[in-house]
Amino acid sequence: MTDQSKWLASARSKLGDLKVAAAFERVGIVEHCGDGIAINSGLPGVRLGGLIQIGEHGLAFALSLAEEVTRCVLLSSSAAVSAGMRAVDRQAVAQVPVGEDLLGRVLDPLGRPLDGGDPVKAERFDPVERHAPTIVDRDFVSEPLATGLTVIDTMIPLGRGQRQLVIGDRKTGKTAITVDTILNQRDSDVISIYAAVGQKDSAVARIIDAVHKHGAPERCIFVIGEAEAPPGLQWLAPYAACTMAEYFRDRGRHALLVIDDLTKHAAVYRELSLLLRRPPGREAYPGDVFYIHSRLLERAAKLAPERGGGSLTALPIAETQAGNLSAYIPTNLISITDGQIYLEPKLFYEGHKPAVNVGLSVSRVGAKAQPPVLKDLARHLRLAYAQFLELEVFMRFGAIVDERTRHSIEHGRRIRAVLTQPENAPLTLAEQSALLLAVEENLLDTLPLSTVPQLQTSLAASLKAEIPDISDRINQSGALDDQDRAALLAHVKQVLARLAQDAPEEDRKDGTTRPA
């Protein structure tokens, strides 16, 4: 048998097993494209949010339906799409991969790798738009979510399953707070998902680098819709990240979702809506801008034990202009979330970081989940700090004060110093407890302010080295009994004594701090 006859015999055997069937496709034509959108005709059966394949490399999803045309948002570069191309209804909605293989990866909102690694091995694909858990599927927020930031964990505590807004002007440390929260989960069972919306590549790279240096990147997912990405991908980023987080929540695990930020997300949605000729409303935003954020943030919840008991905590970020909390998007987000952490530019420029304005910040549910040790040690802290801030205003006018008032001011300055922390250095629960115990016992009032950051640094090493059993008990149980309290107080006094011996001679002579 010749080679040609052998080839013919092999082809006949393969063609004999081939099953031929008719395939149905909805095919339309691109009428217009540009600026991240495309208008197609001939697709009357496409559904809202449905994917549309344009040409070989173009991809879009339907955002507005009309009788004659379908208006779509491009998920690929506009350069890959031109008028006259075929538009095929893929009869599916936007989906993203979910599963354990996503951990440690940097992905775009469609689940495609951005870190140069292999394609993701997905356990399955879930829609980016999913229904929020119903009321009967939810449980009370009762477990703490530690941020490692003393000012938040003591005065604005968070719980697993909470939606807490981080809001403030540009360059006031909003992202730094959320990154520190991610870093603090390195020793916990919380999976962290960071979604970047319209952020610069350099800023995203710094965040990823910080997590790799100080955190646990193998338990994090980064979903990046950077500023150079098509507007459709930027709009899709928080929904895709939320779907990836829900995979862990629905399996009885705990997830933390950071969205940076929803102000840019609203601006992208406004841009797309105006290009699609949707009627503009207040500040040119479309009428459903509230709905797009509420349906996203409502997916964060603490599930009931019957549903596995998992949780999804959301930390969305919003930007204000000149501290205007009454603007359209900030008021929308404040009304959706369970509280807000407000960062004040004045505090930031004075060097008080995190620049949290305690008076305008609130946590509506986290106090019920606060660890008992912090609840006990910080029960008078907020009132004492508020009184100090009020007295400090009068001191700036050169008013003559009595000894009791001067003591309150010096005590308040130590409180503010304890609440100040460097970036990328979250504290454990035991370290926070030791600092608060020193404040409660007035151990810092006669010492220089420079002692406080030294004490923070010294406690981080000495607690693990000298009293590891007590430190582990506090970190694991969140409680402090009388015996451990006495031992912890004695240890703090020892550390302060060592710092006093190493202090310069002029600091030993003058323990009080001069007014700033």
> Which residues participate in catalysis according to the annotation?
364
Which of 294, 304, 292, 188 lies closest to 250 in space, CA to CA?
304
Tokens representing residue 109 in the block: 């909102």
SS3 412: helix
Residues with Cβ within 8 Å of residue 455, at least 6 apart in sequence: 435, 438, 444, 492, 495, 496, 499
- For tokens 């923070």, the residue is 456
With residues binned 3-state (H G I as helix, E B as strand, rest as coil), the percentages for the chain, rounded to 5, are: 45, 20, 35
Q: How many Cβ atoms from other residues are within 10 Å of residue 251's Cβ?
A: 11
> Which region, left, alpha or beta, applies to residue 511 given φ > 0 means left and ψ of -120 to 50 means alpha?
alpha
SS3 342: strand
Tokens representing residue 453 in the block: 């950051």
Distance of CA 95 to the CA centre of its chain: 22
Angle of helix 262-275 relative to helix 289-297, nearest 10 degrees, comes to 140
Q: How are beta strands 26-34 and 86-93 bridged, if at all?
A: antiparallel
Sign of CA dihedral 2, 4, 10, 16: negative
Amino acid at 23: A
Backbone dihedral angles phi then psi of residue 50, each to the nearest 5 degrees: -75, 150
